[in-house]
């Protein structure tokens, strides 16, 4: 799924921040819609590449987070890309259940700036209280 350096370490070409993390953007592989942004550490990046399911690093919980582990809305990884500076990962994913956001929407980017105000432009697909029990 991913290209590794000559020594077999796919994390070697990544430019990690001072916390050992890299931002990861999840994008729908068919529509191109940007679904969410999260953080990855070396372990989560390697697990994502080997398992084919998005695994992130939760800064608030201080642990690995398999997307959809509590909601069932996993992300099947179709392709992984690294930007030109090596400091951002792009995951092209198939979003299970059509919901990527903890608010019950298809994308975390559901607010649009219009006339100086952030306006909600995406409906809630499923009430978060029924997703996270």
What pLDDT does residue 3 have? 44
What pLDDT does residue 131 have? 84
User: Per the domain annotation, does 34 fall within a domain?
Assistant: yes
Tell me the percentage of the chain whose pLDDT exceeds 70: 93
Determine the structural domain holding residue 96 and report its residue range.
22-131
Q: What phi-psi label fits residue 54: left (phi over 0), alpha (psi between -120 and 50 degrees) or beta?
A: beta
What pLDDT does residue 69 have? 87
User: Per the domain annotation, does 36 fall within a domain?
Assistant: yes
β-pairing, 89-95 with 22-28?
parallel
Assigned token pair, 46: 């390697």
User: Per the domain annotation, does 7 fall within a domain?
Assistant: no
Q: Which of 92, 89, 121 lies closest to 108 in space, CA to CA?
A: 121
> What are the counts of helices (DSSP H) followed by strands (DSSP E) for the chain?
2, 8
User: Per the domain annotation, does 16 fall within a domain?
Assistant: no
What's the domain count of the chain? 1
What is the residue-averaged pLDDT of the chain?
Answer: 92
Q: Please provide the DSSP assignment of 98-115 as one string.
A: G--STTSSS-S--EEEET
Model pTM score: 0.89
User: Per the domain annotation, does 8 fall within a domain?
Assistant: no
101 to 54, 61, 68: CA distances (angstroms): 14, 17, 10
State yes or no: pLDDT of 129 exceeds 80: yes
Provide the CATH number for the domain around residue 119. Answer: 3.10.20.810
Between 1-10, 39-48, 55-64, 97-106, the lowest mean confidence (pLDDT) is in 1-10
User: Per the domain annotation, does 58 fall within a domain?
Assistant: yes
């Amino acid at each position: 799924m991913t290209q590794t350096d000559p020594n077999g370490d796919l994390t070697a070409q990544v430019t990690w921040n001072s916390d050992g993390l890299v931002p990861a953007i999840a994008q729908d592989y068919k529509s191109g819609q940007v679904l969410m942004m999260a953080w990855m550490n070396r372990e989560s990046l390697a697990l994502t590449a080997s398992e084919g399911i998005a695994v992130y690093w939760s800064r608030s919980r201080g642990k690995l987070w398999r997307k959809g582990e509590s909601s069932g809305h996993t992300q099947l990884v179709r392709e992984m890309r690294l930007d030109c500076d090596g400091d951002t990962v792009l995951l092209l994913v198939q979003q299970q259940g059509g919901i990527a956001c903890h608010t019950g929407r298809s994308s975390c980017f559901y607010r649009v700036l219009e006339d100086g105000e952030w306006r909600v432009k995406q409906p809630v697909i499923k009430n978060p209280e029924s997703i996270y029990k």
